[in-house]
């Protein structure tokens, strides 16, 4: 019989950590999401960290679920409950099982002292199901183990399972009946929150800001933006286009934007490299477009299903010639929604390319989403031509922003060009004073853009805001660094807009800081170079180039050493 859990030696009244793992194709990700939704029904705030290899079948994949009373996005190494759909999962992760932890494993391939097994073969034969459906029994078993009522299990299954619902419920009930209730999970007063990935909120934020056209060529980890928008294109009233390569992707988006459609593209580093020339075209042609780069480790193919933050320098310097662009970097699903919408609005206000620099862990992790953010994004009206006189696409205005008209519009000849140009878009090469004037026009626009960035809360501060020791981190490391800073009573600084660099906001955030430690998922700490360019010194670095996330306990130990 499985041992009982001593709650006095654990913090299970405050949080739970559950790992579900198996081979690719065994459905561990869907099982993890279903368990997360069970916890969500009890008011717990849930995040899921996903780890999978570049394989269709075999290998090792797992979902790590963390449920807390307050919103979290920081995975922990320690595991309270290990659900091993195969032997490899048990062998790989049992070392991280808490001393009072429990494993639920496949009894056909494994034995383990601390937990109990379910026979996959028996379940498959008894219920005459395909192998992947055995997971319902494991979900039922963990639900019973932590004291979730069967009515809640049935409710979630009926909402989430799309095929063979009655058979899946029968299998889940079998697993439920095989298990013992070892703890009774607390029902919190919190209302359930939507559980959603960063890629999904990236898509939704852009839609809320008026997205009309999305183009992509499938590339992990940005692909699910394409899938999500394609699935819902009729609901959102947008066009979705899968092109043959990333060069076609970006050029189709520039064409759509020139015709008046708010446009966005999505890819990862390798695909973004193919778009570099077109970004310069967008700058010269003053074409608004949002480009999503969901980072994975490189160079080249690197680790295609893992996460990194080593595209920062590339993104900052992407494109040739003199021009400024905007670069935003979200750290979770809430920020992905808000910054995606903000990126779209800024692109159209300033008629410029905006880079949305996310990473695999933000893109594909699941978060509890704060729907209150939705009302903060609405389309900002672009500057449009009033229809009077001869239309000049690049009218030299005081603000540097030229009124827009679009292809097919009555009484307007619209010329969009990659060449230096006269106000009407005709190529300009000889008149040096006019070349200077066109550059000055763009400089005025960029100056206004920089001034607005400083007002947009581009640098966030958490933890002890008066501390003289601080962590600085960006992207997915936000959740980890924030929790570490709170635990250690130090400051955490998070830049969310990297370009134009918000020097005033950063200096304000750094006021009183005597020791600054960078946390970054790269081999060299690229943010430290950007900070150094702006006369800001990082005293120490904690780096991770494995493609995997930091774990909360490990990072806290490292930060504790660095700030002594």
Residue 506, helix vs strand vs coil: helix
Report d(CA 12, CA 16) in Å as an integer: 6
Q: Are the CB atoms for 179 and 153 separated by under 8 Å? A: no
**Percent of the chain as helix, strand, coil, to the nearest 5:** 40, 20, 40
**Which helix or strand (DSSP H or E) is residue 161 part of?**
none
Distance (Å, rounded) from C-alpha 133 to C-alpha 515?
53
Q: Confirm whether 232 is domain-assigned.
A: yes
Same domain, 363 and 426: no
3-state secondary structure of 406: coil
Same domain for 300 and 361, yes or no, is yes
Residue 205 half-sphere exposure toward CB, CA atoms < 13 A = 31
pLDDT confidence of residue 162: 85
Q: What are phi and psi of 33, to 5 degrees?
A: -65, -40
Residue 236 falls within a domain, yes or no? Answer: yes
Distance CA 41, CA 402 (A): 51
- What value, to the nearest 5°, has the Cα angle with vertex 28 and ends 24 and 33? 140
How many domains are contained in the chain?
4
What is the pLDDT tens value at each position of the chain, 564 positions in all? 455 555 544 556 799 999 999 999 999 999 999 999 999 999 999 999 999 999 888 999 999 999 999 999 999 999 999 999 999 999 999 999 999 999 999 999 988 888 999 999 999 999 999 999 999 999 999 999 999 999 999 999 999 988 899 999 999 999 999 999 999 999 999 999 999 999 999 999 999 999 999 999 999 999 999 999 999 999 999 999 999 999 999 999 999 999 999 999 999 999 999 999 999 999 999 999 999 999 999 999 999 999 999 999 999 999 999 999 999 999 999 999 999 999 999 999 999 999 999 999 999 999 999 999 999 999 999 999 999 999 999 999 999 999 999 998 989 999 999 999 999 999 999 999 999 999 999 999 999 999 999 999 999 999 999 999 999 999 999 999 999 999 999 999 999 999 999 999 999 999 999 999 999 999 999 999 999 999 999 999 999 999 999 999 999 999 999 998
Non-local CB neighbours of 32 within 8 Å, separated by 6+ positions: 18, 20, 48, 50, 62, 63, 64, 65
Say yes or no: 293 and 309 in one domain: yes
Other Cβ atoms less than 10 A from the Cβ of 87: the count is 16
Pairing of strands 366-368, 326-328: unpaired
As a dihedral over the C-alpha atoms of residue 556, residue 557, residue 562, residue 564, rounded to 10 degrees, the angle is 100
Which of 118, 147, 178 terminates a domain? The answer is 178
Residues 368 and 398 in one domain: no
Contact criterion met (CB below 8 Å) for 519 and 473: yes
CATH number for the domain spanning 474: value is: 3.40.50.920
In terms of domains, do 33 and 95 share one?
yes
**Bridge partners for 368 per DSSP:** 195
Is residue 200 domain-shared with residue 280, that is, in the same domain?
A: yes
Whether omega before 221 lies within 30 degrees of 0, making that bond cis, reads yes
Rounded Cα distance, 467 and 517, in Å: 13
Nearest to 39 by CA among 87, 80, 85: 80
Examine residue 185 and state whether it is found in any structural domain, yes or no: no
User: Can you say how many angstroms the Cα of residue 192 is from the centroid of all Cα atoms in its chain?
Assistant: 21
At residue 230, what are phi and psi to the nearest 5 degrees? Answer: -65, -40
DSSP symbol at 38: H
For 117-127, b where at least 16 C-beta lie within 10 A, e where not — what string?
bbbbeebbeeb
| 25 shares its domain with 173 | yes
Strand partners for 525: none
Partners of residue 494 on adjacent β-strands: 460
Helix axes 165-178, 120-127, angle to 10 degrees: 140
> What's 60's domain CATH number?
3.40.920.10
Residue 183 lies inside a defined structural domain of this protein = no
Helix (H) and strand (E) counts in the chain: 20, 20
Task: Please give the residue range of the domain that contains residue 118.
Answer: 7-178
Q: Are residues 65 and 46 in contact, defined by beta-carbon separation less than 8 angstroms? A: yes
Query: What's the pLDDT score for residue 6?
Result: 55
Assign 273 to helix, strand or coil. Answer: helix
> Per the domain annotation, does 481 fall within a domain?
yes
Three-class SS state of 224: helix
Residue 189: inside a domain, yes or no? no
Q: How far apart are CA 449 and CA 91, in angstroms?
A: 54
E strand or H helix that includes residue 130: none
Using DSSP's 3-state secondary structure scheme, residue 105 falls into strand
Torsions phi, psi for 252 (to 5 deg): -65, -35
Report d(CA 71, CA 514) in Å as an integer.
30
In a domain, 187, yes or no: no
pLDDT the model gives residue 11: 59
Question: Residue 459 and residue 281: Cα distance in Å, rounded?
Answer: 29
Same domain for 83 and 103: yes
The answer on 252 and 313 residing in a single domain is: yes
Q: What is the DSSP string of 279-338?
A: HHHHHHHT--EEEEEEE---STT-STTS---TTHHHHHT-SSSS---EEE---SHHHHHH
- Same domain? For 106 and 219 the reply is no
Query: CB within 8 A of 151, min separation 6: which ones?
Result: none
In DSSP notation, 59-92 reads: EEEEEEEEEESS------S-EEEEEESSHHHHHH
C-alpha 388 chain-centroid distance = 44
* Residues 173 and 68 placed together within one structural domain of the fold: yes
Domain boundary among 178, 206, 230: 178
On whether the CB atoms of residues 238 and 186 are closer than 8 A, the answer is: no
CATH number at residue 207: 3.40.50.970
Give, in order, the Cα–Cα distances in Å from 18 to each of 102, 329, 458.
10, 29, 34
Q: Are residues 466 and 446 in the same domain?
A: no
Which of 178, 210, 233 is where one domain is finished? 178
Flag whether 190 is in a domain.
no
Backbone angles phi, psi at 327, to 5 degrees: -130, 120
113 exposed, middle or buried (CB, 10 Å; 0-12, 13-18, 19+)?
Answer: exposed
């Amino acid at each position: 019989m499985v041992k009982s859990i001593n709650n006095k030696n654990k913090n299970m009244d405050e949080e739970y950590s559950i790992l579900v793992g198996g081979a690719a194709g065994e459905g561990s990700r869907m099982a993890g999401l279903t368990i997360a939704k069970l916890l969500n029904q009890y008011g717990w705030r849930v995040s899921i960290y996903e780890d999978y290899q570049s394989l269709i079948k075999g290998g090792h994949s797992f979902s790590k679920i963390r449920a807390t009373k307050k919103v979290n996005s920081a995975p922990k190494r320690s595991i309270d409950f290990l659900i091993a759909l195969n032997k490899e999962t048990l062998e790989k992760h049992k070392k991280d099982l808490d001393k009072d932890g429990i494993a639920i494993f496949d009894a056909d391939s494994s034995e383990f002292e601390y937990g109990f097994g379910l026979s996959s073969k028996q379940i498959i034969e008894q219920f005459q199901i395909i192998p992947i459906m055995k997971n319902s029994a494991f979900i039922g078993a963990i639900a019973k183990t932590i004291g979730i009522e069967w009515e809640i299990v049935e409710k979630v299954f009926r909402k989430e399972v799309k095929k063979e619902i009655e058979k899946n419920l029968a299998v889940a009930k079998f697993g439920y009946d095989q298990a013992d209730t070892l703890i009774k999970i607390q029902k919190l007063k919190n209302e359930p929150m939507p559980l959603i990935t960063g890629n999904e909120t990236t898509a939704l934020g852009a839609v809320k800001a008026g997205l009309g056209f999305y183009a992509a060529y499938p590339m992990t980890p940005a692909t699910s933006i394409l899938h999500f928008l394609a699935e819902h294109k009729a609901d959102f009233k947008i066009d979705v286009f899968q092109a043959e390569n990333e060069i076609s992707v970006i050029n189709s988006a520039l064409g759509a934007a020139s015709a008046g459609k708010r446009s966005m593209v999505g890819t990862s580093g390798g695909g973004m490299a193919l778009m570099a020339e077109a970004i310069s075209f967008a700058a010269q042609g003053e074409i608004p477009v949002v480009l999503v780069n969901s980072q994975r480790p490189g160079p080249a193919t690197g680790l295609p299903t893992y996460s990194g933050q080593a595209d920062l320098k590339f993104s900052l310097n992407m494109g040739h010639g003199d021009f400024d662009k905007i670069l935003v970097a979200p750290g979770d699903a809430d920020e992905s929604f808000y910054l995606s919408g903000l990126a779209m609005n800024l692109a159209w206000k300033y008629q410029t390319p905006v880079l949305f620099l996310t990473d695999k862990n933000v893109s594909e992790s699941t978060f509890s989403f704060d729907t209150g953010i939705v009302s903060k994004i609405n389309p900002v009206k672009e500057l449009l031509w009033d229809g009077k006189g001869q239309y000049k696409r690049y009218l030299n205005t005081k603000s540097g922003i030229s009124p827009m008209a679009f292809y097919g519009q009555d009484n307007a000849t619209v010329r969009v060009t990659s060449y230096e140009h006269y106000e009407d878009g005709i190529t300009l090469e000889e008149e040096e004073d006019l070349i200077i004037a066109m550059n000055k026009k763009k400089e005025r626009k960029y100056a206004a853009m920089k001034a607005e960035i400083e007002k947009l809360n581009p640098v966030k501060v958490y933890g002890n805001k008066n501390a003289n020791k601080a962590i600085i981190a960006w992207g997915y490391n936000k959740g980890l660094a924030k929790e570490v800073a709170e635990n250690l009573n130090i400051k955490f600084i998070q830049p969310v807009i990297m370009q134009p660099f918000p020097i005033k906001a950063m200096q304000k955030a750094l006021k009183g800081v005597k020791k600054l430690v960078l946390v970054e998922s790269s081999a060299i700490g690229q943010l430290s170079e950007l900070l150094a360019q702006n006369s800001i010194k990082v005293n120490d670095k904690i780096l991770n180039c494995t493609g995997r996330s930091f774990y909360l306990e490990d990072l806290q130990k490292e930060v504790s050493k660095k700030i002594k």
